[in-house]
Amino acid sequence: MCGIFAISGTDDQAGQKVLAGLKKLEYRGYDSWGIALKYREKNEVIIKKEVGKISNIDQEFPPAQEAFGHSRWATHGGVTKENAHPHKFGKVTLVHNGIFENYLEEKKLFTEKFLSETDSEVIAALLDKNIAEICTQKQCIFPLLAGEGEGEVDQEFAKKIIFDAIVKTVEKIEGRFAILVFVDGVDGIFAARRGSPLILGRGKNETFIASDIPAFLKYTNVVNYLDDDEMVWVHQGEAVYQNMKSREIIQKRDIEVPWKEEQAEKGDFPHFMIKEIFEQKDTIARAINHDDEELLKAAKLLENCNGAYIVACGTAHKVAMVAEYYFARISGRKVNVVPASEMPDFERFINEKTAVIAISQSGETADVMEVLERSKKKSAKILALTNVESSSMARLADVHLAINAGPEKAVASTKAATSQMALAFLLAYADAEIRGISKINVGREILRSTAGIINDNLNPRYEEHIREIARKLFPEEKLFIIGRGTLYPMALEAAIKIQEVSYIPALAFAAGELKHGPIALIENGTPCIVLGSDLETISNATELKSRGARIIGVATKNDEVFDEWIRVADCDGAQAIASVIPVQILAYHLAIFRGLDPDMPRNLAKSVTVK
């Protein structure tokens, strides 16, 4: 949630660079935006902020060497200019990602008038108050912070005071946060995090701080990761890290990320969503590019466990549901799939003999992270499947497997979801090999064949056929989807995609459950998408059609019950992967016909780092 980007450098283009970087992070929040520029010579910070998307903003900023900005997804306070970040309180200018859960309690301690309704402004107020109190204790004058009368700020002394004030401030915060801070009269940018991601990009004479890597890929692919309960001060090419609990200075390792700038751009495609759908030609093959030793190491976490849980949210939860079928069918293992937000009721069963598998694109999803943190305290074994190798989940896990999908910027997940399914499929075969049931290479060959089939299917003619079906469906005000076996969770996922980007109320059901209630919703002409063409599913489709439904079949073969047919090839046990892709394309074109932006659906953001 929310995009944060900052630069401290040596040229005067900090404002323009932050504007460009925020545009690359707009998928994380697009209710409002703001940028703060620091003028050392004038000892002031200038703030520009507005309601609405930043993507179409073309604005010149005054020269500045340090700046930070924020693209907001509203949580506390409505979408107004006053609630947009950055917030200025006293000497402190701040942007914030996360939720300060107990902010109302702390806000009562202030007699000053707040300009916004946000929890974030309260953090700025607390920090400003703590700086003043520490200065009083140390008998120093702010902003000079040392000595009396006119003179230069003692920057080293100032840095220590602000680090102390940050520690004192975050002790009051219940919840997850990432903050960036300017303090009047003090060089550099201060940052701290707990639970919400912050990543540093390291240049020769400049340093970037962002909530996601694409913001600075144009300038560097060398990164440092700020871990939980750590803070940092950056100025030009310098960075000083401290642990907020021990107060120890930390040395960070430079890491080169394999992503390239062009991977995070639309190229010739009109939207990121359709670009990322077509990238599945390659990403599924990359997802299975793990050697057997890595996969067997991951599967061995399950070998001696007395129970296994897969936890995830949203689309990743539907992937987890598919994985439950994979393990049951391929390795004969029962795993329990629970949405991360519902996991607290089941945590009594977690102990040192439990395996917890987390699935997440970002590796930062708040609900999942909290489950993993609590499970780790109970000595459970953690396996993470994420798209970011140095994400919080990856670093917390005993074993991490990267899905290798590359940057995914559309809010609606497409290529990450199929990559997660492919890796879960291969993991089930690794488990089967350990149990003497099958071999990893059997699963690998099925997935290679599936990737080849998808490569053949994703062509302009195929897309145009689906686009024509979308043209007929887009005026509809409701839509139903059914599936059986692994295609049942894919029906649920298809409904999510259509809901997210076209706003059509799409409902999904297990095909065999229709007659137990949902069929009462069917009227003459109601569109129903049917995933699969096995005899039982066709029988269910026939039941729908007899009540007047209009049937759109997504299946390996046509059937007379289908009014429209979208062909998918037979992919053996990986049918779920192949079957969801045409519905992704359908959802995209439904959004386009309805005049919507499929990359940035209303009320949603890409990486949910708050509860």
Contacts of residue 231, defined as CB under 8 A and 6 or more positions apart, other chains included, come to: 163, 166, 167, 190, 191, 192, 193, 241, 242, 244
**So what's the pLDDT on residue 605?**
65
Looking at every residue in the chain, the average pLDDT score rounds to: 90
> How far, in Å, CA of 200 to CA of 196, rounded?
14
What pTM did the predictor assign? 0.76
**Residue 108's CB: how many other CB atoms inside 10 A?**
9
> How far, in Å, CA of 447 to CA of 380, rounded?
30
What H or E segment, with its residue span, contains residue 396?
helix 392-396
> How far, in Å, CA of 200 to CA of 209, rounded?
4
Specify the CATH number of the domain 266-458: 3.40.50.10490
**So what's the pLDDT on residue 152?**
62
Q: Which residue has the tokens 């200018």?
A: 93
Using omega within 30 degrees of 0 as the cis cutoff, is the peptide bond preceding 582 cis? no
Q: Which residue has the tokens 């780790």?
A: 376
Average pLDDT over residues 138-160: 65
487-502 vs 314-326: helix crossing angle, rounded to 10: 170
Confidence grade of residue 1 (pLDDT, cut at 50, 70, 90): low
Average pLDDT over residues 379-404: 92
Confidence grade of residue 607 (pLDDT, cut at 50, 70, 90): low
CA atoms within 13 A on the CB side of 47: 20
DSSP secondary structure string for all residues of 326-369:
HIIIII----EEEEGGGGGGGGGG--TTEEEEEE-SSS--HHHH
**Residue 177's CB: how many other CB atoms inside 10 A?**
25
Contact assessment for residue 410 and residue 273, using Cβ atoms and an 8 Å cutoff: yes
> How far, in Å, CA of 61 to CA of 59, rounded?
6
Query: Does the annotation count 528 as an active-site position?
Result: no
CA distances from 609 to 175, 198, 211, 584 (A): 11, 11, 10, 25
**So what's the pLDDT on residue 213?**
85
Q: What does the angle CA 484 – CA 485 – CA 489 come to, to the nearest 5 degrees?
A: 80
> How far, in Å, CA of 172 to CA of 108, rounded?
13
CA distances from 535 to 93, 240, 483, 561 (A): 64, 65, 12, 12
Extract the runs of DSSP E, i.e. beta strands, from 113-256: 177-183, 189-194, 199-202, 207-210, 222-225, 230-235, 238-243, 249-250, 255-256
By DSSP bridging, strand 336-339 and strand 230-235 are unpaired
**So what's the pLDDT on residue 148?**
45
Among the ranges given (249-263, 409-423, 469-483), the one the predictor scored with the smallest mean pLDDT: 249-263
Domain ranges (residues) in the chain: 3-262, 266-458, 459-611
Catalytic residue among 129, 159, 497, 606: 606
Among the ranges given (381-390, 435-444, 456-465, 599-608), the one the predictor scored with the smallest mean pLDDT: 599-608
For the segment 75-131, what is each residue's pLDDT rounded down to a tens digit?
777 888 899 999 999 999 999 988 898 989 999 999 989 999 999 999 999 999 999
Is 459-611 CATH 3.40.50.10490? yes
End-to-end CA gap in the chain = 10
Extract the runs of DSSP E, i.e. beta strands, from 318-473: 336-339, 354-359, 381-386, 399-402
Please state which architecture CATH assigns to domain 3-262. Answer: 4-Layer Sandwich (3.60)
Percent of the chain with pLDDT over 70: 95
Confidence grade of residue 195 (pLDDT, cut at 50, 70, 90): confident
Q: Fold match between 266-458 and 459-611?
A: yes
**Residue 545's CB: how many other CB atoms inside 10 A?**
18
Of 200, 162, 159, give the one whose Cα is nearest residue 178: 200
Q: Is the model more confident about 559 or about 143? A: 559
Query: Does the annotation count 2 as an active-site position?
Result: yes
Sign of the Cα pseudo-torsion (11, 5, 61, 126, in order): negative
Contacts of residue 276, defined as CB under 8 A and 6 or more positions apart, other chains included, come to: 408, 409, 410, 414, 415
211, pLDDT greater than 50:
yes
Catalytic residue among 2, 135, 528, 571: 2
Q: Does residue 139 come out as left (phi exceeding 0), alpha (psi in the -120 to 50 range) or beta?
A: left
